[in-house]
Amino acid sequence: MHVFFNGKITEIENAVLSPFDRGFLFGDGVYEVIRYYPKKFFLLEDHLARLRNSLKELEIPAPDLSSIEQILNELIRVNNLTDKLSIAYLQISRGYQFPRRHAFIEEASPTFFIYVENFPAKIDEMKNGVKVGLDEDIRWTRCDIKSTSLIPNILSNKKAVRNNLAEIIWHRNGIITEGTHSNIFFVKDNTIITPPLNNFILAGITRKAILAICKQTGMESCERPVNIDEMKTFDEIFITSTLGEITPVMEINGSIANTGKPGAVTIKLQNEFQKLYADFVAP
Ligand code: PDD
């Protein structure tokens, strides 16, 4: 496997990191996950804008991203993924610092790592829907930063897997935030509802694309806080992410969501969303 590591595309064996890298010691870094629909990276500019913002918020110096699209395409090519639905994982940590100190030094040189992976669509989940759980959001109050410090996310996600659930949806004092790796939407009387952007949720790129589709197609949408007590009143629920696109939720905490089948609004949005990348998917 070839990866990008600190300015070069190289065999994974050559990507060697000091244990004094702050990414390893503190989870002091940021990341992005970007979809490659053959033959193009999807919504790349949006992902790069979010990456730049995460770096800025954590005061990590941004590496040169001017030729990132070429690097990503080259990684796809050298790993023989040109015709395969894939993903790129990009991570920038604050870099090496010795000795270990909480306070970061200004002159640290960030570690930049990218790998690509064949990642087929979760067709069954997208078509037939998933079950999700509900849990208290125990994260910090800067969830808008896509940080690699993901302990609450991985613990809640493991809970989901152990309970045969696709995702855990979090709430803070009864107000829905998001999933461990997805945003959430609700449909009531044909209006598409999602929690508003703030420091308690990640500004999902898929979420943004869906709200843009709503505007373009005249579907009614609304960003507002959602209480867990409202859950049973919704006509449809779906979760969104780079990897899962738009995934219908069939059951939430043991209660049936939707009518037991993916709803009409969810299906319409899925079709509209697929049109966004249909142009560049190879015939
Ligand atoms: N996760 N909320 C959280 C907490 C996330 O981690 C993600 C994405 C999303 C959805 O964002 P987007 O639509 O930009 O993928 C929302 C990535 C895919 C991950 O951690 O693997």
In tens, the pLDDT along 203-238 reads 999 999 999 999 999 999 999 999 999 998 999 999
Question: Is the omega angle on the peptide bond into residue 248 within 30 degrees of 0, that is, cis?
Answer: no
Tens of pLDDT along 167-187?
999 999 999 999 999 999 999
Contact 185, 235 (CB under 8 A): no
- pTM of the complete model: 0.97
Ligand 1: which of 150, 153, 242 to mutate, judged by most atoms within 8 Å of the beta carbon? 242
What pLDDT shows up at residue 259?
74
Distance 234 CA to ligand 1 centre (A): 23
Distance 50 CA to ligand 1 centre (A): 11
Secondary structure class of 138 (helix, strand, coil): coil
Average pLDDT rounded to a whole number, residues 85-108:
97
- Bridge-partner residues for 134, per DSSP? 169
CA distances from 134 to 137, 193, 232, 238 (A): 9, 18, 13, 14
Contact 33, 89 (CB under 8 A): yes
227-239 b/e (C-beta count within 10 Å ≥ 16 → b): eeeebeebbbbbb
Tens of pLDDT along 108-118?
899 999 999 99
What pLDDT shows up at residue 91?
98
- Which tokens belong to 140? 């910090």
Q: Is 177 in the pocket of ligand 1 (CB under 6 A)?
A: no
282 pLDDT more than 70? no
Q: Which residue has the tokens 């730049």?
A: 52
Q: Is 28 in the pocket of ligand 1 (CB under 6 A)?
A: no
- Which tokens belong to 205? 């790129």
Nearest Cα residue to 89 out of 45, 140, 148, 145? 148
Tens of pLDDT along 250-281?
999 888 887 778 999 999 999 999 999 987 76
What one-character DSSP code corresponds to residue 83?
Answer: T
Distance (Å, rounded) from C-alpha 167 to C-alpha 130?
8
**Mind giving me the DSSP string for 27-67?**
--EEEEEEEEETTEETTHHHHHHHHHHHHHHTTPPPPP-TT
Distance (Å, rounded) from C-alpha 113 to C-alpha 96?
14
For the chain, how many residues are written?
283
Distance (Å, rounded) from C-alpha 85 to C-alpha 134?
31
